[in-house]
Chain A
Amino acid sequence: MKGEHVAALYALFGALVPLTSPGHYIQWHWIQISVANVVVIFLMIVTFIAALLLPFPGRRRRRGDDK
């Protein structure tokens, strides 16, 4: 039963993101990169920027200690 749930989850995910279909590639002059890799790099940049800009957790508590 659990296996069926996992298979159903895979099927749902596969329908949303068809990973097994022929790959899509971006070509710009001599640079060639897959769309999947572009997405990964974009997410890494977003994560990096978020790490810079999001406040540290526990900041309010520490400030409260100061007072």
Chain B
Amino acid sequence: MTRRFRPDVDAPIYKGRYYPYDILKEGTIALVVVSLLVVVCATLFGSPDEPAVTLKQWSTAQPLDFASTALAELDGSSGVAGYGPPYNHNADGQQIGPLTLAKWMGVHIPVNAAEDFVLLPLTTLPDEPTLSAGLQEWAAASDAQRTTWLNAYAKGTMTFSAGVIYDTATGDGPVGLFITDLTSMARTGALDADLIAGRGYYTTDYTKPLLFLADGQWFGQLATAQHLGGEQWGMMNEEGNYPGQAWLWLYTMWYQVPPYNSSWSANADAMVWATMMVLTAILALLPFIPGLRSVPRWTRVYRLIWREHYRDEAQRNAAVKDPPSA
């Protein structure tokens, strides 16, 4: 008993003539041509490598934004301080419904925003007896006392003059000194060096300065000005008029539409990732999905590619059906 031919799974046995084909030659030519194209296009259209922005640039360009962000790091209200895993335990982090993915992975890049971004760098400043006393006062204070100082400082008006941060706050303990000294430290470039210290001379680990930068307004403004913001399809853009990563259109598209940018926005990264994984699985399993696997057969694009073969086949069939008379 012969098995029924299934057009969306089985391939008919080819009965036509076979031709020799030098696939190694074609592969070599394709490799050389594509390699040349890559080199030429990368030379002409590759965007320039902008130097990385620094905390020094930020605190020089917008000292008040830097100082406000430093205060947010100290009082725990910044984005990183309340992010959760992988940085800390202050939230559940990214999750998909009840699946707390980030929490499962744990805190593997520990960041204590107040300690790492403010207090520890200040301890490295030499010959600052007033600051040292302030740090000791902070260390000895209770959480309630620290909160009182932070709230008092936040009620004041912050200004910047002659390279120094001032605040009209009273009863703020050592907080004003911390913010002023940290801003001055950042403006010298010492904070950039301190946040990457201990990671080797040729470090590529800029996690801490980058997280600090990302908590402020200035970094986002730079990105927005270059159309690189998340809400600007920034993932597929490059600076200026350089072509970008057009192939990331689907990935970045989800961030622009509800519910990813509304009710799911807090977990948008995880939700977009999950969506793309589902779509990738569908693509990988296409030969096993009835209906979808038949789309190429229905659209008949293959007949356009192999039109010569099908034309010859039609002529042969016509000749067999209606042979020329003798």
Chain A residues near B (Cβ < 8 Å): 13, 17-25, 30-37, 39-41, 44, 52-53, 55-56, 59, 62, 65-66
Q: Is the interface of B mostly helix, strand, loop or mixed?
A: loop
Cα distance, A56 to B16, chains bound together (Å): 18
Q: How far apart sit A37 and B249, CA to CA, in the bound complex (Å)?
A: 10
Q: A30, A31, A36, A55: which contacts B244 (Cβ < 8 A)?
A: A36
Given known A-B contacts A25-B227, A33-B233, A55 and B241 have beta carbons under 8 A apart: no
Known: A20-B241, A23-B239. Contact between A52 and B304, CB under 8 A? yes
Q: Tell me if B240 counts as interface (CB < 8 A to partner A).
A: yes
- Min distance, Cβ A18 to any Cβ of chain B, angstroms: 7
With A13-B44, A23-B227 as known contacts, state yes or no: A36 contacts B233, CB within 8 Å: no
Shortest Cβ distance from B41 into A: residue: A40
13 additional contacts (CB under 8 A) given A23-B240, A24-B241, A32-B256: A19-B47, A21-B241, A23-B241, A23-B242, A25-B227, A33-B233, A33-B249, A34-B238, A36-B242, A37-B236, A37-B244, A37-B246, A44-B246
Among B239, B243, B301, residue most surrounded by chain A Cβ atoms (within 10 Å):
B243
Asked if residues A32 and B232 are in contact (CB atoms below 8 Å), the reply is: yes
Number of interface residues of B (CB under 8 A): 27
B residues near A23, Cβ cutoff 8 Å: 226-227, 237, 239-242
Q: Quick one: closest A residue to B304, CB to CB?
A: A52
Closest beta carbon of chain A to B183's beta carbon, Å? 31
Q: What chain A residues lie within 8 Å of B232 (beta carbons)?
A: 32
A65 surroundings in chain B (CB, below 8 A): 19
Q: Are A21 and B257 also in contact (CB < 8 A) when A41-B246, A55-B308 are? A: no
The reply to whether B305 and A52 contact each other, CB–CB distance below 8 Å, is yes
- In the assembled complex, the Cα of A41 lies from the Cα of B256 at a distance in Å of 20
Kindly list chain B residues whose C-beta atoms are within 8 Å of the C-beta of A44.
Answer: 246
Q: Hey, what's the 0/1 contact readout for B124-151 against A, CB within 8 Å counting as 1?
A: 0000000000000000000000000000
Please, how many angstroms separate the alpha-carbon atoms of A44 and B44 in the complex?
Answer: 18
Contact between A52 and B240 (Cβ–Cβ < 8 Å)?
Answer: no
Partner of A52 from B45, B47, B243, B301 at Cβ < 8 Å: B301
Question: Residues of B contacting A31 with CB < 8 Å?
Answer: 233, 256
Select from chain B the residue with minimum beta-carbon distance to A34. Answer: B237
* B243 near A39: Cβ-Cβ < 8 Å: yes
0/1 per residue, B288-303, Cβ < 8 Å to A? 0000000000000100
A39 to chain B, nearest CB (A): 7
How far apart are the CA atoms of A23 and B240 in the complex, in Å? 4
What separation, in Å, do the CA atoms of A23 and B257 have in the docked complex?
Answer: 24
- Looking across the interface, which residue of chain B has its beta carbon closest to that of A24? B241
Nearest B residue to A44 via CB reads B246
Q: Report which of A25, A37, A41, A59 forms a contact with B308, defined as CB distance below 8 A.
A: A59
Which of A13, A36, A59 makes the CB contact (< 8 A) with B238? Answer: A36
Q: Considering the chains assembled together, what is the distance between the CA atoms of A36 and B44 in angstroms? A: 13
20 A-B residue pairs with Cβ-Cβ distance under 8 Å, sorted by A, are A13-B44, A19-B45, A19-B240, A19-B242, A23-B227, A23-B241, A23-B242, A31-B233, A31-B256, A32-B233, A33-B249, A34-B238, A34-B241, A35-B241, A37-B237, A40-B246, A44-B246, A52-B304, A52-B305, A56-B308
Task: Let me know if B243 and A36 touch, CB within 8 A.
Answer: yes
Partner of B227, one of A20, A34, A39, A40: A34
